[in-house]
């Protein structure tokens, strides 16, 4: 006896029960827990027959028969119902259940299990998804469509070879980094849309760091000029967003050079922990009567113009880094990292990561440049907070960022090369 076939049947029963349970719980009369289980078993048995009899026509014949049964049932349902809009979710789910039952036999079981579980979850979150979609604005749809265009239309057509001086400008690679940065920002933006505006001051800082720590700094600094009582709250949210920006940097490094991440992660995590400790100190300074304000509505993070500007900036920094390294050596890269970090820490992080990936920059030195660029960006945000906010905010940010920047410089100076995973 082939016990693997029994295991396959057991998996089919499990998937059928889960999906059928969800359908019956929503009040579907066409197909419930028993029907979905039987459909899944039918698909698996059909797969067994197709495999054992080596007949490729058995599976499509049973599939057509099932589709005919569903069509007949739908016609009868339409005749008895006065509703003009009758959904097809259950029918499509039933056909997919049959296909999954067969695929468990003839294909990859892991994929079949993942698809079956995902189908059950997708059916379960129907109301929440509809509610979320109803809340979307035109700019949210625009963000989705722009990201689709950036990632699925523009990226595939760009040539994957280097051009220009110093042999570092690869259009496909540059645009891939654009997709990565826009993707991180879009993810943070839609998490904000999902959880709502009043997410609490901690969540505001985390989401602000994912979307844009610089934009968060500017928004909350401006708020303090209108409501001076929120200085500590604003400083806390700005500091948390800046701490999360270090996590964002690690995500970028992990995507581009995952093999070098063990050499880079420890000093970056230490700087993140220092900012986190400072944030905790600010949190306890906040008066208990003060409440977190709503997070300012972020701008559309997926705009083609912004993506194009980032791509050009990234390409320019790639050239600047390569030129500085070739003409003046590694020490000149500190100046490039500081200047570039003032403008955009993502671009210099990705540029240095590409050099490390290509082998022209050692990871043990590259992380110092990335951290230096991050500290430069921290200084820029501190200056913006001081210019746009109140004196009270400026004092708090000066202390918090001053501790973080000094600590970061000590990490760069004193960190032993042997300390890594």
Last residue of a domain, one of 124, 154, 179: 124
Share of the chain above pLDDT 90, in %: 53
Say if residue 79 is in the same domain as residue 170.
no
23 in any annotated domain? yes
- Establish if 106 belongs to a structural domain: yes
Please report where in the chains the tokens 């722009």 appear, as a residue. 146
Q: What is the pLDDT of residue 411?
A: 96
Q: What is the pLDDT of residue 415?
A: 93
Could you tell me if 142 and 245 lie in one domain?
yes
pTM given for the model? 0.79
Residue 299 lies in a domain: yes
Q: Are residues 157 and 69 in the same domain?
A: no
> Domain total for the chain?
2
pLDDT band at 50 (very low <50, low <70, confident <90, very high): very high
172 & 147 share domain: yes
Inform me whether the pLDDT recorded for 334 exceeds 50: yes
Encode 160-173: b = buried (16+ Cβ within 10 Å), e = exposed: eeeeeeeebbbbeb
Q: Would residue 131 count as lying in a domain?
A: no
Q: Among 124, 149, 176, identify where a domain stops.
A: 124
Q: What number of other Cβ atoms are within 10 A of residue 1's Cβ?
A: 5
By C-alpha distance, which of 191, 197, 213 is closest to 292?
A: 197
Q: How far apart are CA 221 and CA 401, in angstroms?
A: 15
Return the higher-pLDDT residue of 91 and 264: 264
- Assess whether 90 and 230 both reside in one domain: no
Q: What is the DSSP string of 309-368?
A: HHHHHHHHHHHHHHHHHHHH-TTHHHHHHHHHHHH-HHHHHHHHHHHHHHTSS-HHHHHH
- 110-165: per-residue pLDDT in tens? 999 999 999 988 888 877 777 777 778 888 888 889 999 999 999 999 999 988 78
Residue 100 has pLDDT above 50, yes or no: yes
- The whole-number pLDDT of residue 1 equals 53
**pLDDT for 295-311, tens place per residue?**
566 777 778 888 999 99
Is residue 129 a part of any domain in this protein? no
> How far is it, in rounded angstroms, from Cα 333 to Cα 324?
6
If asked whether residues 98 and 162 sit together in one domain, one would say no
Q: Indicate whether 113 and 143 sit together in one domain.
A: no
- Per the domain annotation, does 421 fall within a domain? no
Task: Kindly report, residue by residue over 304-333, the tens digit of the pLDDT.
Answer: 888 999 999 999 999 999 889 888 888 899
Q: Please report whether residue 132 resides in a domain.
A: no
Decide if 420 is inside a domain: no
What pLDDT, on the 0 to 100 scale, is given for residue 2? 63
Q: Find out whether 63 and 39 touch, Cβ atoms under 8 Å.
A: no
Strand partners, 286: none
Work out the pLDDT band at 41, boundaries 50, 70, 90.
very high
Q: If you average pLDDT over every residue of the chain, what do you get?
A: 87
What is the span of the domain harbouring residue 252? 137-414
> 52 and 176 share a domain?
no
Phi, psi of 364 (to 5 degrees): -65, -25
Shared domain for 115 and 213, answered yes or no, is: no
pLDDT at residue 174, as a whole number: 93
Residue 170 and residue 221 in one domain:
yes
98 and 170 together in one domain:
no
- Per-residue pLDDT, 289: 44
Share of residues in the chain with pLDDT > 70 (%): 93
54 and 104 housed in the same domain: yes
pLDDT at 301: 76
- Decide if 357 contacts 254 (C-beta within 8 A): no
């Amino acid at each position: 006896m082939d016990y693997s076939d029994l295991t396959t049947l057991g998996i089919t029963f499990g998937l059928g029960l889960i999906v059928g349970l969800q359908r019956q719980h929503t009040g579907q009369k066409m197909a419930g827990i028993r029907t979905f289980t039987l459909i899944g078993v039918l698909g698996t048995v059909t797969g067994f027959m197709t495999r054992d009899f080596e007949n490729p026509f058995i599976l499509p014949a049973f599939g057509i028969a099932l589709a005919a049964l569903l069509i007949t049932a739908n016609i009868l349902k339409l005749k008895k119902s006065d509703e003009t809009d009758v959904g097809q979710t259950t029918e499509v789910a039933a056909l997919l259940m049959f296909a999954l039952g067969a695929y468990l036999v003839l294909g990859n079981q892991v994929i079949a299990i993942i698809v079956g579980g995902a189908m059950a979850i997708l059916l379960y979150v129907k109301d929440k998804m509809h509610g979320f979609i109803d809340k979307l604005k035109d700019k949210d749809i625009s963000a989705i469509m722009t990201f689709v265009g950036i990632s699925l239309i523009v990226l595939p057509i760009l040539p994957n070879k280097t051009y220009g001086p110093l042999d570092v400008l690869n259009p496909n690679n540059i645009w891939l980094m654009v997709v990565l940065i826009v993707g991180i920002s879009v993810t943070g933006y839609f998490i904000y849309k999902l959880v709502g505006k009043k997410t609490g001051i901690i969540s505001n800082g985390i989401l602000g760091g994912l979307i844009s720590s610089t934009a968060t700094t500017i928004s909350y600094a401006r708020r303090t000029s209108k409501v001076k009582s929120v200085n500590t709250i604003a400083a806390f949210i700005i500091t948390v967003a800046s701490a999360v920006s270090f996590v964002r940097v690690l995500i970028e490094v992990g995507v581009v050079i995952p093999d070098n991440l063990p050499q880079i992660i420890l000093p970056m995590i230490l700087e993140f922990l220092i900012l986190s400790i400072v944030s905790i100190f600010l949190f306890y300074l906040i008066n208990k009567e003060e409440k977190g304000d709503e997070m300012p509505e972020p701008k559309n993070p997926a705009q083609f113009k912004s993506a194009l500007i980032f791509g050009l900036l990234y390409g320019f920094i790639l050239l600047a880094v390569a030129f500085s390294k070739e003409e003046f050596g590694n020490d000149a890269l500190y100046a490039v990292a500081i200047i570039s970090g003032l403008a955009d820490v993502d671009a210099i992080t990705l540029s240095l990561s590409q050099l490390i990936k290509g082998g022209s920059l050692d990871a043990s030195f590259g992380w110092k440049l990335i951290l230096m660029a991050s500290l430069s960006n921290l200084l820029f945000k501190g200056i913006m907070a001081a210019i746009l906010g109140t004196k009270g905010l400026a004092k708090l940010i000066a202390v918090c960022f001053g501790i973080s920047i000094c600590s970061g410089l000590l990490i760069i100076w004193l960190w032993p090369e042997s300390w890594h995973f």
